[in-house]
Amino acid sequence: MAVSLQSLVETTLPGMGYELVDLEIGAGGMVRLFIDKDPGGVTIDDCVAVSNHLTRLFMVEEVAYERLEVSSPGLDRVLKKPSDFSRFAGQHVRVKLRLPLPDKRRNVIGRLIGLQDDCVVVQVNEEELRLPQSQIDRVRLEPQF
C-alpha cells in the first residue's frame, strides 16, 4: 500500500529536526513545503538540506512530482495543528472566516487565547470571541512591528 505524501513528509522531517507547517500540492506537479525549527526558525541552508533529502527520498519512494519548493513559514505563519494554538497563545493572529459574523466581519484580528472545545478563542479589545473551527478558513500570525 502506498504511503501518502503528507504521511511520508510528516514522518521524515522530525528525524531531521524540523516541523512540517504546511504542505501544498499545486497544478503541474508542484509540491511546496513550509518547514520550521524551534528554537530559531529555519535558514536557507535548512531549506536546501530538506530539499536535497526529500528529492532523494521521493526518488526511492517513487513519488511523482515536477518541482519541489521548501521554505520558511514566514512571519505570518499559518496555524493548523492544536499544538500551534498552544505554542503561539498570546500572539496576535488574523482569523479569516468562511461565513461572516453577525456584525458582517469576515476577518478578525486579535490576541490568541488558544483552542478550546473546537473553537479558536481570540481576544479583540476587551471581548473574547469563540470562533468555531468549522467556520474558519485560515488562521495566521499577525506580525506586530
The model's pLDDT over 48-105, given as tens digits with 9 standing for 90+, comes to 999 999 999 999 999 989 999 999 999 999 999 999 999 999 999 999 999 998 889 9
Q: Which three cell numbers stand for residue 51?
A: 530539499
Q: Which three cell numbers stand for residue 87?
A: 505554542
This prediction's pTM: 0.79
pLDDT of residue 79: 95
pLDDT digits (tens, 9 = 90+) for 98-143: 999 888 999 999 999 999 999 999 999 999 999 999 999 999 999 9
Domains and CATH numbers, the chain: 5-71 (3.30.300), 82-141 (2.30.30.100)
pLDDT of residue 22: 92
Across the chain, what does the average pLDDT equal? 93
Question: 3 pLDDT band (50/70/90 cuts)?
Answer: low
Q: What are phi and psi of 102, to 5 degrees?
A: -55, -30
pLDDT of residue 71: 96
Cα 62 to Cα 9, 50, 83, 108, distances in angstroms: 14, 17, 31, 42
pLDDT of residue 38: 83
Pick from 35, 7, 4, 33: nearest CA to 19: 35
pLDDT of residue 1: 34
